[in-house]
Amino acid sequence: MAMLEIDKICASYGNVRVLWDIDLQVEEAKIVALLGANGAGKTTLLNTLAGMLRPTSGEIRFMGERIDRLQSSDIIQLGIAYLPEGGRLFPDMTIKENLEMGAYPAALWKNRKREAEKIYRMFPILAERKNQLARTMSGGERQMLAMGRCLMSNPKLCFFDELSYGLSPKMAEEVFRIVKMLRDRGITVLLVEQNVNRTLEIADYAYVIENGRIVLEGEGRTLLEDDYVKQAYLGI
Protein backbone atom coordinates (compact mmCIF):
# COMPACT_ATOMS: atom_id res chain seq x y z
CA MET A 1 0.00 0.00 0.00
CA ALA A 2 1.32 3.42 -0.97
CA MET A 3 1.64 6.13 1.67
CA LEU A 4 -0.46 8.51 -0.47
CA GLU A 5 -3.06 7.28 -2.94
CA ILE A 6 -4.98 9.61 -5.25
CA ASP A 7 -7.91 8.02 -7.05
CA LYS A 8 -9.82 9.80 -9.85
CA ILE A 9 -9.49 13.25 -8.27
CA CYS A 10 -11.27 16.12 -10.01
CA ALA A 11 -11.15 19.72 -8.80
CA SER A 12 -12.54 23.05 -9.92
CA TYR A 13 -12.42 26.75 -9.17
CA GLY A 14 -16.08 27.67 -9.34
CA ASN A 15 -17.36 26.40 -12.68
CA VAL A 16 -13.86 26.02 -14.16
CA ARG A 17 -12.60 22.44 -14.06
CA VAL A 18 -8.84 22.26 -13.45
CA LEU A 19 -8.11 18.61 -12.57
CA TRP A 20 -9.52 15.64 -14.46
CA ASP A 21 -9.47 12.11 -12.98
CA ILE A 22 -6.01 12.30 -11.44
CA ASP A 23 -4.55 8.94 -10.40
CA LEU A 24 -1.24 9.11 -8.53
CA GLN A 25 0.61 7.18 -5.85
CA VAL A 26 3.47 8.16 -3.55
CA GLU A 27 5.44 5.34 -1.98
CA GLU A 28 6.92 5.73 1.50
CA ALA A 29 10.47 7.14 1.73
CA LYS A 30 10.52 8.03 -1.97
CA ILE A 31 10.80 11.23 -3.98
CA VAL A 32 7.90 11.50 -6.41
CA ALA A 33 7.95 14.39 -8.88
CA LEU A 34 5.01 16.14 -10.50
CA LEU A 35 6.09 17.91 -13.68
CA GLY A 36 4.31 20.13 -16.15
CA ALA A 37 4.11 23.59 -17.66
CA ASN A 38 2.72 26.60 -15.82
CA GLY A 39 -1.06 26.30 -15.59
CA ALA A 40 -1.05 22.52 -15.98
CA GLY A 41 -2.65 21.98 -12.57
CA LYS A 42 0.35 21.11 -10.38
CA THR A 43 -0.26 23.64 -7.60
CA THR A 44 -4.00 23.01 -7.75
CA LEU A 45 -3.33 19.34 -7.05
CA LEU A 46 -1.10 20.18 -4.09
CA ASN A 47 -3.72 22.57 -2.73
CA THR A 48 -6.31 19.80 -3.06
CA LEU A 49 -4.10 17.25 -1.30
CA ALA A 50 -3.42 19.71 1.52
CA GLY A 51 -7.13 20.37 2.10
CA MET A 52 -7.05 23.95 0.82
CA LEU A 53 -9.32 23.08 -2.11
CA ARG A 54 -12.09 20.52 -1.86
CA PRO A 55 -12.14 17.96 -4.71
CA THR A 56 -15.38 17.68 -6.64
CA SER A 57 -14.99 13.91 -6.93
CA GLY A 58 -12.52 11.12 -6.25
CA GLU A 59 -10.66 9.97 -3.14
CA ILE A 60 -7.38 10.81 -1.41
CA ARG A 61 -5.99 8.29 1.08
CA PHE A 62 -3.04 8.79 3.42
CA MET A 63 -1.73 5.63 5.05
CA GLY A 64 -4.97 3.91 4.12
CA GLU A 65 -7.35 6.54 5.54
CA ARG A 66 -9.41 8.97 3.48
CA ILE A 67 -8.41 12.61 3.93
CA ASP A 68 -10.23 14.34 1.06
CA ARG A 69 -12.94 15.71 3.39
CA LEU A 70 -10.63 16.81 6.20
CA GLN A 71 -9.66 20.37 7.06
CA SER A 72 -6.08 21.48 6.42
CA SER A 73 -5.39 21.63 10.16
CA ASP A 74 -6.45 18.00 10.56
CA ILE A 75 -4.31 16.91 7.61
CA ILE A 76 -1.24 18.56 9.16
CA GLN A 77 -1.79 16.63 12.36
CA LEU A 78 -1.67 13.36 10.42
CA GLY A 79 1.94 14.11 9.46
CA ILE A 80 1.68 15.99 6.16
CA ALA A 81 3.47 19.31 5.60
CA TYR A 82 3.04 21.67 2.64
CA LEU A 83 5.61 24.24 1.52
CA PRO A 84 3.95 26.47 -1.10
CA GLU A 85 5.82 28.32 -3.83
CA GLY A 86 7.68 31.32 -2.44
CA GLY A 87 7.86 29.95 1.10
CA ARG A 88 5.48 32.58 2.54
CA LEU A 89 7.64 33.50 5.49
CA PHE A 90 6.81 36.17 8.05
CA PRO A 91 9.28 38.84 6.86
CA ASP A 92 9.33 40.92 10.04
CA MET A 93 9.86 37.95 12.32
CA THR A 94 13.25 36.45 13.10
CA ILE A 95 14.52 33.13 11.82
CA LYS A 96 13.88 31.62 15.25
CA GLU A 97 10.32 32.99 15.37
CA ASN A 98 9.55 31.76 11.85
CA LEU A 99 10.73 28.28 12.75
CA GLU A 100 8.61 28.23 15.88
CA MET A 101 5.52 29.03 13.79
CA GLY A 102 6.01 25.64 12.17
CA ALA A 103 5.71 23.81 15.50
CA TYR A 104 2.18 22.64 14.85
CA PRO A 105 0.10 20.79 16.07
CA ALA A 106 0.01 22.03 19.64
CA ALA A 107 1.72 18.92 21.00
CA LEU A 108 4.87 19.93 19.13
CA TRP A 109 4.93 23.43 20.63
CA LYS A 110 6.27 22.06 23.90
CA ASN A 111 9.19 20.54 22.01
CA ARG A 112 9.82 23.44 19.65
CA LYS A 113 13.33 24.09 20.95
CA ARG A 114 14.33 20.48 20.42
CA GLU A 115 12.84 20.45 16.92
CA ALA A 116 14.53 23.76 16.11
CA GLU A 117 17.89 22.29 17.09
CA LYS A 118 17.37 19.55 14.50
CA ILE A 119 16.74 22.22 11.87
CA TYR A 120 19.81 24.19 12.93
CA ARG A 121 21.95 21.07 12.49
CA MET A 122 20.49 20.58 9.03
CA PHE A 123 20.89 24.27 8.08
CA PRO A 124 23.85 25.66 10.08
CA ILE A 125 23.48 29.12 8.54
CA LEU A 126 20.09 29.45 10.24
CA ALA A 127 21.68 28.75 13.61
CA GLU A 128 24.27 31.45 13.00
CA ARG A 129 21.57 34.02 12.19
CA LYS A 130 18.63 32.89 14.32
CA ASN A 131 17.91 36.45 15.52
CA GLN A 132 18.04 37.95 12.01
CA LEU A 133 14.80 39.15 10.38
CA ALA A 134 13.60 36.95 7.55
CA ARG A 135 13.28 39.87 5.15
CA THR A 136 17.02 40.56 5.36
CA MET A 137 17.98 37.10 4.09
CA SER A 138 19.00 36.13 0.57
CA GLY A 139 16.63 34.12 -1.61
CA GLY A 140 18.46 30.87 -0.94
CA GLU A 141 18.55 31.48 2.79
CA ARG A 142 14.83 32.23 2.82
CA GLN A 143 14.16 28.96 1.03
CA MET A 144 16.19 27.07 3.62
CA LEU A 145 14.20 28.77 6.36
CA ALA A 146 10.93 27.90 4.64
CA MET A 147 12.01 24.26 4.38
CA GLY A 148 13.09 24.30 8.02
CA ARG A 149 9.75 25.71 9.15
CA CYS A 150 7.96 23.03 7.12
CA LEU A 151 10.02 20.32 8.84
CA MET A 152 9.29 21.69 12.32
CA SER A 153 6.04 19.71 12.32
CA ASN A 154 8.09 16.49 12.12
CA PRO A 155 6.21 15.33 9.00
CA LYS A 156 6.05 11.91 7.40
CA LEU A 157 5.20 13.39 3.99
CA CYS A 158 6.20 16.77 2.51
CA PHE A 159 4.67 18.61 -0.44
CA PHE A 160 7.23 21.00 -1.96
CA ASP A 161 6.15 23.50 -4.64
CA GLU A 162 8.90 25.01 -6.85
CA LEU A 163 11.76 24.85 -4.36
CA SER A 164 14.41 25.96 -6.83
CA TYR A 165 12.46 28.81 -8.44
CA GLY A 166 14.48 32.04 -8.54
CA LEU A 167 17.57 30.51 -6.92
CA SER A 168 21.11 30.60 -8.25
CA PRO A 169 22.35 27.32 -9.77
CA LYS A 170 24.56 26.72 -6.73
CA MET A 171 21.73 27.27 -4.27
CA ALA A 172 19.30 25.24 -6.35
CA GLU A 173 21.74 22.35 -6.25
CA GLU A 174 21.88 22.65 -2.46
CA VAL A 175 18.09 22.48 -2.29
CA PHE A 176 18.03 19.28 -4.37
CA ARG A 177 20.73 17.82 -2.12
CA ILE A 178 18.55 18.50 0.92
CA VAL A 179 15.53 16.85 -0.72
CA LYS A 180 17.60 13.72 -1.32
CA MET A 181 18.82 13.84 2.27
CA LEU A 182 15.23 13.97 3.54
CA ARG A 183 14.37 10.92 1.46
CA ASP A 184 17.38 9.09 2.86
CA ARG A 185 16.16 9.94 6.37
CA GLY A 186 12.81 8.31 5.65
CA ILE A 187 10.75 11.42 4.83
CA THR A 188 8.53 11.02 1.77
CA VAL A 189 8.49 13.89 -0.73
CA LEU A 190 6.02 14.94 -3.43
CA LEU A 191 7.95 17.52 -5.43
CA VAL A 192 6.56 20.01 -7.94
CA GLU A 193 9.37 21.53 -10.00
CA GLN A 194 10.13 23.42 -13.22
CA ASN A 195 13.74 22.18 -13.26
CA VAL A 196 12.80 18.99 -15.07
CA ASN A 197 16.29 17.66 -15.76
CA ARG A 198 17.57 17.91 -12.18
CA THR A 199 14.27 16.73 -10.72
CA LEU A 200 14.18 13.57 -12.81
CA GLU A 201 17.76 12.83 -11.79
CA ILE A 202 16.77 12.61 -8.11
CA ALA A 203 13.16 11.39 -8.37
CA ASP A 204 12.33 7.76 -7.74
CA TYR A 205 9.15 8.17 -9.78
CA ALA A 206 7.53 10.99 -11.72
CA TYR A 207 4.26 12.06 -13.29
CA VAL A 208 3.74 14.55 -16.10
CA ILE A 209 0.56 16.59 -15.96
CA GLU A 210 -0.87 18.57 -18.87
CA ASN A 211 -4.16 20.47 -18.94
CA GLY A 212 -5.18 18.92 -15.64
CA ARG A 213 -4.56 15.32 -16.71
CA ILE A 214 -1.72 12.88 -16.09
CA VAL A 215 -0.28 12.10 -19.52
CA LEU A 216 2.89 10.21 -18.66
CA GLU A 217 4.50 8.46 -15.70
CA GLY A 218 7.52 6.35 -14.91
CA GLU A 219 10.77 6.11 -13.00
CA GLY A 220 12.68 9.38 -12.96
CA ARG A 221 15.74 8.17 -14.85
CA THR A 222 13.51 6.44 -17.41
CA LEU A 223 11.58 9.63 -18.17
CA LEU A 224 14.88 11.46 -18.64
CA GLU A 225 15.37 9.30 -21.73
CA ASP A 226 11.79 9.57 -22.95
CA ASP A 227 11.57 11.25 -26.37
CA TYR A 228 8.42 13.19 -25.49
CA VAL A 229 9.92 14.55 -22.27
CA LYS A 230 13.13 15.49 -24.08
CA GLN A 231 11.26 17.42 -26.73
CA ALA A 232 8.56 19.03 -24.58
CA TYR A 233 10.48 19.80 -21.37
CA LEU A 234 14.21 19.49 -21.97
CA GLY A 235 14.48 21.18 -25.34
CA ILE A 236 16.40 18.27 -26.84
pLDDT on residue 53: 95
152 pLDDT band, cuts 50/70/90, is very high
For residue range 205-236, what is the model confidence (pLDDT) as tens digits? Answer: 999 999 999 999 999 999 999 999 999 887 76
What are the domain boundaries of the chain?
1-79+157-165+187-236, 86-154
Helix (H) or strand (E) holding 145: helix 139-151
Residue 42 pLDDT > 70, yes or no? yes
The pTM of the full predicted model, rounded to 2 decimals, is 0.93
pLDDT on residue 236: 67
Residue 56 pLDDT > 90, yes or no? yes
Mean pLDDT of 144-148: 94
As beta bridge partners, residue 191 has 33, 160
**Mean pLDDT across the chain, nearest whole number?**
93
pLDDT on residue 99: 94
For residue range 74-109, what is the model confidence (pLDDT) as tens digits? Answer: 999 999 999 998 778 999 999 999 999 988 777 778
pLDDT on residue 1: 75
pLDDT on residue 233: 87
Burial zone of 25 (CB within 10 Å; 0-12 exposed, 13-18 middle, 19+ buried): middle
Rounded CA-CA distance 199/214 in Å is 17
Q: 3-state class of 159 per DSSP?
A: strand
For residue range 160-203, what is the model confidence (pLDDT) as tens digits? Answer: 999 998 888 998 999 999 999 999 999 999 999 989 999 999 99
| Homologous superfamily of the 1-79+157-165+187-236 domain (CATH) | P-loop containing nucleotide triphosphate hydrolases (3.40.50.300)
pLDDT on residue 166: 85
pLDDT on residue 88: 84
112 pLDDT band, cuts 50/70/90, is confident
**Long-range interactions of 69-75: CB distance < 8 A, separation 24+:** 73/105, 75/50, 75/51
Across the chain, how many H-helices and E-strands are there?
11, 10
pLDDT on residue 160: 96
What is each CA distance from 105 to 35, 110, 220, 225, in whole angstroms?
A: 30, 10, 34, 42
